[in-house]
Amino acid sequence: MAAISTGTTCLYGVAGTVTNLYVQSYSLSSSFNSDVTVVDETGITKTHRLDDRKSEITIEGIAKTATMPVLGASLSFTVNTASAYPGGTASASFSGTITKIDDKGSNKGFTAVTITAIDYEGITL
């Protein structure tokens, strides 16, 4: 079915995919792993240093089969904006290691799976 859009063009939907999962949403958070400051004798911050960018993604979806990616496996995912930092540069491509998998079943719904992965700029997969 074709969508009819009027007004300003905006990003819509989810670009990335995960094997055996109908991706419903994702959330990506990027920050610095090292955040240190130096204060003077009166407690006023004089230096602020930020190093080691990291990105953490959480992907939520509906399971197609019982087979899911496993803990410690590599995960690549395309996000809608250049907000991931593989290798320390802003990108729409996330590539990290799976650190957590949640499975939620219900007697009145489909099985939902949440996958969390993390990427550090100094670690390439």
Question: What string of H, E and C letters represents the secondary structure of the chain?
Answer: CCCCCCCCCCCCCCCCCECCEEEEEEEEEEEEEEEEEEECCCCCEEEEEEEEEEEEEEEEEEECCCCCCCCCCEEEEECCCCCECHHHCCECEEEEEEEEEEEECCCCCCCEEEEEEEEECCCCC
* pTM for the full predicted model: 0.86
Per-residue pLDDT at 2: 66
pLDDT averaged per 10 residues, the chain (length 125):
76 88 96 95 96 95 93 95 89 95 94 96 84
Per-residue pLDDT at 50: 93
Per-residue pLDDT at 6: 82
Per-residue pLDDT at 13: 86
